[in-house]
Structure 1
């Protein structure tokens, strides 16, 4: 099932690292491990990965910083990230998601739950539009254009915005359903491959981050609207244009 899929684990705890390596290898993943930030950067640049499991607390630099670093490099933008944290404060989970992590788990956690999260994110990645797609689309909305092949989001003033995998998936979902209310479970299934747990903030954080990308920071927002008790709605017309 997981043949050919590679996972890079970043954790300075040798017992936790070995446990994850053994478990994920036994279910068919190719697993590599790093003990700190510099080790992680070297391995990722040398071999890449299909998914990263990133501990927040590392000896040389935080997992938050490494998450941010990944999203500053185009080659690593689309790699899903699951963050692990022993801290239960909501602010730490939200910070990780705002920086571009795709999901998170608080220690201690079930290995089966981790595997379910991994599989969900890899399913999302596998059904996302590929850069090798023939033709493709350019979707124009408000003051923006999104090329669904190159994943380039460009403003009318020429600024190009870098999108993470979750950013792109969420924006494409809104553009496929303009002026329709999308509930949190629909968004969660699209961006994480699973429904949201009660009180989980991941969808709201992903929408907040996308609003930042789209300069939709007015209060209240004018482009992605919050529908109380319903979810979110893209309040813009979307038109299809041919790629140059």
Structure 2
């Protein structure tokens, strides 16, 4: 049998840690917990996690700073849990590289659905054979779904978070077609975009900084006013 996926929960509320540990263990996950940044780093050193659930309101270094630290050398799946009502915290978290966010108080079934959705996109073993074998070449880049890597013309790997990779994959599979924010949210996060949900906009901005010659004047990912986004590249599929 395959090993269970490893989930690391970081929260300074002992009740929340116990609740999530018991709930996700009951869903077949291996669960580790930490109450602060030091505990998070120690847990990851003991065993890499497939996904980190990270609370923003932590003592000492808060969740945003820990997100920044994680994204310096780790591209695993990351979901922010926040009790803060301000949308700016969610936007900043996404800007720093989180793949999704959940606001407290949360419904456990919704949180489980979010976790599974992100893991489906981030764990290579979950890729289907048909799509995993294909490669996508565009504008001097090559996207390898089997390896979940993006390489430039020199063969150098470009680090992508789970959200960035999945967004790019949707674009290369639907080139020169206008995709609305709802289309993208549904394909990537499994839900529609709310009126104040900027998750897609933030991830597009991050992806542009990695693949556009000039992110302020994008040539590949174009905004279509009032409609959404268009991937304006010639895409070739290979094997």
TM over 0.5: yes
Cα distance in structure 1, aligned partners of 2:131 and 2:109: 38
Question: Residue 221 of structure 1: SS of its match in structure 2?
Answer: coil
Q: String of CA shifts for 1:135-180, please: whole Å, max 9, x gaps.
A: 8444321243333333333334666421111111111111111101
What is the Cα deviation at residue 128 of structure 1? 7.5
Question: Residue 20 of structure 1: SS of its match in structure 2?
Answer: helix
Query: In 2 relative to 1, CA 91–46 (structure 1 residues): closer, same or farther, beyond 3 Å?
Result: same
| Cα contact 1:124–1:192 (8 A) shared by 2 | no
- Specify the alignment match of 1:108 in structure 2: 105
Aligned-residue CA RMSD (Å): 2.8
- Specify the alignment match of 1:151 in structure 2: 148
- Specify the alignment match of 1:58 in structure 2: 58
- Specify the alignment match of 1:9 in structure 2: 9
- Specify the alignment match of 2:85 in structure 1: 88
Query: In 2 relative to 1, CA 134–191 (structure 1 residues): closer, same or farther, beyond 3 Å?
Result: closer
Question: Residue 71 of structure 1: SS of its match in structure 2?
Answer: helix
What is the Cα deviation at residue 58 of structure 1? 2.0
- Specify the alignment match of 1:121 in structure 2: 118
Query: In 2 relative to 1, CA 213–128 (structure 1 residues): closer, same or farther, beyond 3 Å?
Result: farther
Q: String of CA shifts for 1:186-218, please: whole Å, max 9, x gaps.
A: 312332233333331111111111111113545
Structure 1 residues not aligned, in runs of 5+: none
Query: In 2 relative to 1, CA 36–22 (structure 1 residues): closer, same or farther, beyond 3 Å?
Result: same
| Cα contact 1:123–1:193 (8 A) shared by 2 | no
Return the match for 1:192 from 175, 184, 189.
Answer: 189
What is the Cα deviation at residue 224 of structure 1? 0.5
Return the match for 2:171 from 153, 170, 174.
Answer: 174
Q: TM-score, length-normalised on structure 1?
A: 0.83
Structure 2 residues not aligned, in runs of 5+: none
Deviating more after overlay: 111-120 vs 160-169: 111-120
Query: In 2 relative to 1, CA 121–42 (structure 1 residues): closer, same or farther, beyond 3 Å?
Result: same
| Cα contact 2:143–2:151 (8 A) shared by 1 | yes
What is the Cα deviation at residue 85 of structure 1? 1.6
- Specify the alignment match of 1:45 in structure 2: 45
What is the Cα deviation at residue 60 of structure 1? 3.2
Question: Residue 218 of structure 2: SS of its match in structure 1?
Answer: coil
- Specify the alignment match of 1:34 in structure 2: 34
What is the Cα deviation at residue 127 of structure 1? 7.4
What is the Cα deviation at residue 104 of structure 1? 0.8
Query: In 2 relative to 1, CA 198–135 (structure 1 residues): closer, same or farther, beyond 3 Å?
Result: closer
| Cα contact 2:52–2:79 (8 A) shared by 1 | yes
- Specify the alignment match of 2:180 in structure 1: 183
Query: In 2 relative to 1, CA 223–40 (structure 1 residues): closer, same or farther, beyond 3 Å?
Result: same
| Cα contact 1:133–1:149 (8 A) shared by 2 | no
| Cα contact 1:223–1:236 (8 A) shared by 2 | yes
Deviating more after overlay: 101-110 vs 215-224: 215-224
